[in-house]
């Protein structure tokens, strides 16, 4: 039996993710980046808190022991926005943004297995591991790998950092990037 954690959502659900974003910090080169830290793993990223640059929780990743095949991504107010259904071939969904699909479609592995392509609103983006940085993956617009990255995932100690530039936020990539972090650091097979 498959349980749909989105069944309680109504079609009128909406709202901007911008209200959930932290305020920018002091002026610096990185001040234009929105920063989030996946922390308080219990015992791993499938149960954790995502805090903003202000140190306050902005999102939660939750896997209930009674439904271990479902990982829910929630806003700080507890409203779910994304789900991963852990099957032989995991299935993902982001309400009103990413239709239900296999995780291998959402983060399609390139033929040379060096990158993963993510398609949001008919636009392609590519996650590319950085050879000059351990545990770093950067997001670029497809066919523009020389441009500055739109987002960066960096593992630092026991935390995982997600940084997005304003263009990524405007393009609606915050929630897909949060989902990508969970998938890429889940330790589970996603292909």
Provide the token pair at 109: 């592995």
Examine residue 145 and state whether it is found in any structural domain, yes or no: yes
Examine residue 10 and state whether it is found in any structural domain, yes or no: no
Examine residue 161 and state whether it is found in any structural domain, yes or no: yes
Examine residue 88 and state whether it is found in any structural domain, yes or no: yes
- pTM over 0.85? The answer is no
Examine residue 111 and state whether it is found in any structural domain, yes or no: yes
Q: Which residue in 56, 53, 57 sits closest to 25, CA to CA?
A: 53
Is 164 a residue whose pLDDT tops 60?
A: yes
Is 145 a residue whose pLDDT tops 90?
A: no
Strands 80-85 and 116-120, by their bridges, are unpaired
Examine residue 38 and state whether it is found in any structural domain, yes or no: yes
Q: How many domains are there within the chain? A: 1
CATH number for the domain including 149? 2.40.160
Q: Answer for the pair 34, 169: CB distance below 8 angstroms, yes or no.
A: yes
Average pLDDT along the chain? 85
Contacts of 182 (CB under 8 A, 6+ apart): 38, 45, 46, 61, 71, 73, 84
Examine residue 23 and state whether it is found in any structural domain, yes or no: no
Examine residue 117 and state whether it is found in any structural domain, yes or no: yes
Taking only the tens place, the pLDDT of each residue in 90-111 is: 999 999 999 999 999 999 999 9
Domain assignment of residue 141, given as a range: 31-184
């Amino acid at each position: 039996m498959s349980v749909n954690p989105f069944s309680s959502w109504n079609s009128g659900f909406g709202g901007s993710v911008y209200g959930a974003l932290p305020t920018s910090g002091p002026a610096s080169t990185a001040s234009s980046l929105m920063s989030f830290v996946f922390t308080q793993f219990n015992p791993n990223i499938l149960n954790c808190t995502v805090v903003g640059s202000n140190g306050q929780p902005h999102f939660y990743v939750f896997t209930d022991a009674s439904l271990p095949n479902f990982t829910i991504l929630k806003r700080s107010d507890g409203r779910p926005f994304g789900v991963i259904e852990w099957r032989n071939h995991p299935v993902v969904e982001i309400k009103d943004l990413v239709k239900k699909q296999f995780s291998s479609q959402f983060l399609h592995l390139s033929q040379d297995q060096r990158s993963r392509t993510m398609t949001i609103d008919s636009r392609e983006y590519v996650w590319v591991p950085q050879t000059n940085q351990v545990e770093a993956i950067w997001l670029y617009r497809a066919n523009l790998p020389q441009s500055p990255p739109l987002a960066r995932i960096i593992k630092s100690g026991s935390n995982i950092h997600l940084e997005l530039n304003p263009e990524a936020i405007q393009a609606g990539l915050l929630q897909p990037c949060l989902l990508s972090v969970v998938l890429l650091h889940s330790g589970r097979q996603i292909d």
